[in-house]
Amino acid sequence: MSILEIHDLEVVYRGRDGTPVRAVAGASLAVDVGEIVGLVGETGCGKSSLARAAVGLEPAASGDIIFDGQRVQVLGRRARTKRDARLQMVFQNPYGSLNPRRTIGDQVADGLRILTEDSGGQPRARVKELLRRVGLSADVAERHPHQLSGGQRQRVAIARALAADPRLIVLDEPLSALDASVQAQVANLLVELSRDLGMGMLLISHDLAIVRHVAQRVAVMYLGQIVETAATRELWNAPMHPYTRALIDAIPHPDGLGRLPEALTGEIPDPARPPTGCRFHPRCPYAFERCPTDVPLLTEIAAGRNVSCWLYDSAARPTPLGAAAV
């Protein structure tokens, strides 16, 4: 059962000259109860816009976002309901989302208030429990954000999200500002929380390698569209979309083998003027006649495996991108 369903989402911004830019151009995605889904893609692919729209921080130009059976409304001045609060978001830079003048304990307690509809109260015990839940000692409650390391601040941001007893947390690059040795701690914490609390997560990241260790399923985004979704292991072992393959081949591994990663030709196009047909075709080493003209749709190729690429259309295909061909 899905806790979050996104159907044909479009997020549109006004460009500098007033022309509309479709940052998200018809994306569909679902997160099951208790599942961690990774959404990966490079700068400007629209993954953060999708994340912000998913929690109501950005209006959807069209499409539907359903959380726990009901449509997500854009957050405005109205107070969030208890139900709204069960959809939480964590950002890349926790320094930007924590108030430097207030103690950690007070800020985590904010998250509890909406749940208990309690203006003051004695949530101290619960705050300490939450801090321990994310691997911090209870005395962190008395400190201020600047007294903590980056990894500790990110744990606080997660604790605050947990305070509202969420069913889904959307995390936008929660690991990328952290040192490598600390990144693994927070990555493992996410897996643990999801498993122990039955909580869904949508993990937005540019780093496919770390997502592989955290997410059960991965969606790959390119220029506003989802180009492939698959179980993490299958996606990694046998990527189908040429862009997914390029992303994997470009990752340098610390294996001491001295292999130079593969570069993808060209640049990410301007989302205000996306290429015709398949948006990836100008950079795709396998593009053929059909790709610049016809838009491929995200199609189920096998169970749980969706790809938007003409190579997998049996009527159009010249050579399949199977193991033999590549």
Min dist. Cβ of residue 190 to other proteins (A): 11
Structure-token pair, residue 49: 């816009």
169: β partners = 88, 201
Pick from 256, 257, 280, 285: nearest CA to 269? 280
Pick from 203, 224, 236, 246: nearest CA to 298? 224
Binding residue for other proteins (CB under 8 A) from 101, 252, 303, 323?
Answer: 252
**In this chain, which stretch among 19-27, 28-36, 113-121, 179-187 interacts with other proteins, using CB under 8 A?**
179-187
Binding mask 21-50 for other proteins (x = CB under 8 A): ---------------------xx-------
Please identify which residue in the block is written with the tokens 């601040």: 153
**In this chain, which stretch among 1-9, 62-70, 93-101, 245-253 interacts with other proteins, using CB under 8 A?**
245-253
Q: Which is nearer to other proteins, 49 or 232 (CB)?
A: 232
Structure-token pair, residue 39: 């959404």
DSSP 310: G
Kindly compute the dihedral angle of the four CA atoms of residues 104, 112, 184, 146, in this order, to the nearest 10 degrees.
-10
Binding residue for other proteins (CB under 8 A) from 264, 291, 309, 311?
Answer: 264
Contact in structure between 231 and 63 (CB atoms under 8 Å): no
Binding residue for other proteins (CB under 8 A) from 124, 132, 195, 233?
Answer: 233
Q: Which is nearer to other proteins, 144 or 212 (CB)?
A: 212
Q: Which is nearer to other proteins, 98 or 186 (CB)?
A: 186
* H or E stretch at 95: helix 94-97
Count of residues in contact with other proteins, rule CB under 8 A:
45
The yes or no reply on residue 185 touching other proteins (CB under 8 A) is yes
User: Phi/psi class of residue 97: alpha, beta or left (left: φ > 0; alpha: ψ in -120 to 50)?
Assistant: alpha
Q: Which is nearer to other proteins, 257 or 315 (CB)?
A: 257
The yes or no reply on residue 122 touching other proteins (CB under 8 A) is no
CA distance 202 to 36: 6
**In this chain, which stretch among 25-33, 73-81, 193-201, 207-215 interacts with other proteins, using CB under 8 A?**
207-215
Binding residue for other proteins (CB under 8 A) from 33, 66, 138, 209?
Answer: 209
Min dist. Cβ of residue 249 to other proteins (A): 8
The yes or no reply on residue 154 touching other proteins (CB under 8 A) is no
Question: 195-218: b or e for each residue (b if 16 or more CB lie within 10 Å)?
Answer: eeeebbbbbbbeebebbbebbbbb
Q: Which is nearer to other proteins, 112 or 235 (CB)?
A: 235
Binding residue for other proteins (CB under 8 A) from 1, 253, 314, 315?
Answer: 253
Structure-token pair, residue 36: 């961690």
Backbone torsions φ then ψ of 86, nearest 5 degrees:
-85, 0
DSSP 205: E
HSE-CB of 241 using CA atoms within 13 angstroms: 32
The yes or no reply on residue 251 touching other proteins (CB under 8 A) is yes
Site residues for other proteins per CB under 8 A: 42-43, 149-152, 179-185, 187-188, 191, 206-210, 212-213, 232-233, 236, 246-247, 250-264, 267-268
